[in-house]
Amino acid sequence: MAGTNEIRTTWKARLIGRLGGWCMRLLGMSLRREVVGDVRGLNASPQPLIHVLWHNRILVSPYLFRKIYPKRETVVLTSASKDGAVLAAAVKVFKVGAVHGSSSRRGAAAIVALRRATREGKDLVFTPDGPRGPRYHLQPGVVKIAQTTGLAIVPLHIEYLSCWKLRTWDLFRIPKPFSKVRVTLGDPITVPRKLDDDGFEKARHALEQILLKEIDDLISPTESENHGNTH
């Protein structure tokens, strides 16, 4: 599954990404999985789906996606940067494609590429508070894509029951090997195609609240500086 809009990359970025992808696979293989939600129904969906999850839960998400959706094609949105190139190479290990862009850089090209991917029948995955935050704040891009394509959004929560938390802006989580991971797939949500500004903000806020429902560390960025790095 090739990525759609390409950015310049290097052999070093591709090598680092590929090694990272295989490390993600090995870590994922060690975890005990529990999946909650209508997996059969989502797998049977004839239309592409848009999955959203918070940035700090993404580490083994490509592995989990391939286990939950063994036959569905998937594309992720990554930043138009060297880090994005590394991530694209990492997810390619799992036969997941990548579109590069953000609201501030290559945004229009990314939207075009994402729409093209959905027309080809591919699911989309967004981390709506990435790549730089604020943590747990849902940026409007995913709602806009759902509105213009008519595709359903599936809220996704990944809970690592034992993990390390890094001192990053998002308190990035690394699950401990051989621990348990719980994946919760929410009910699909559709966004009306015609919304005024107030209606759009209500839709954005409602999705954000659904994603926040399972979160146990709703602390401010300032407080996070004093937060422990283990869990």
For 3-19, the three-class secondary structure string (H helix, E strand, C coil) is CCCCCCCCHHHHHHHHH
Query: Do the Cβ atoms of 27 and 60 come closer than 8 Å?
Result: yes
Q: In the structure encoding, which two tokens stand for residue 192, read together?
A: 């009306």
Q: How many whole angstroms from its chain centre is CA 42?
A: 17
pLDDT per position as a tens digit, 79-128: 777 888 899 999 999 999 998 776 444 467 778 889 999 999 999 999 99
| Both structure tokens of 115 | 């729409």
**What's the CA gap between 48 and 134, in Å, rounded?**
28
3-class DSSP assignment, residue 27: helix
Mean pLDDT by 10 residues, the chain (231 residues): 53 93 98 97 97 96 96 89 88 92 61 90 93 92 93 97 96 97 97 96 97 71 39 45
pTM: 0.86
